[in-house]
Amino acid sequence: MLRRVKLMNPFEIVQDRIAPERPQPIERKVVNRAARSTPVCDACGSDDIICHATAQWSNEAQEWQLANTFNQPAHCNTCQRDVNLVWLTLN
């Protein structure tokens, strides 16, 4: 049985013919912190922080995840200096 959709994956069509309905795996999202938080500049308290990094797509989580920060310091766009980060908990 073929399904009609706007964008069709050719591999999905072949799988549908071989195995009609398979149970879907349970999705589990990885949560790194218990509470929501944000990094801020230790000098001025701004949250306008940038960091050079690489992101990698996760098929399991279906989102972009941080892969590497190149061991470089974060930069505050407000006070224009390299900073140490302080993590504040959000309400």
65-74 pLDDT, tens per residue?
989 888 888 9
Is 20 a domain residue?
A: no
Is 14 a domain residue?
A: no
Is 8 a domain residue?
A: no
Task: Give the domain extent around 60.
Answer: 28-89
Q: Average pLDDT for residues 78-85, to the nearest whole number?
A: 93
DSSP 72: P
Is 19 a domain residue?
A: no
Count of CB atoms situated within 10 Å of the CB of 24 = 6
Is 12 a domain residue?
A: no
Is 62 a domain residue?
A: yes
For 49, the enclosing helix (H) or strand (E) is strand 49-50
Which residues share a beta bridge with 25? none
pLDDT, greater one: 91 or 51:
51
Length of the chain: 91
Count of CB atoms situated within 10 Å of the CB of 81 = 12
Number of domains in the chain: 1
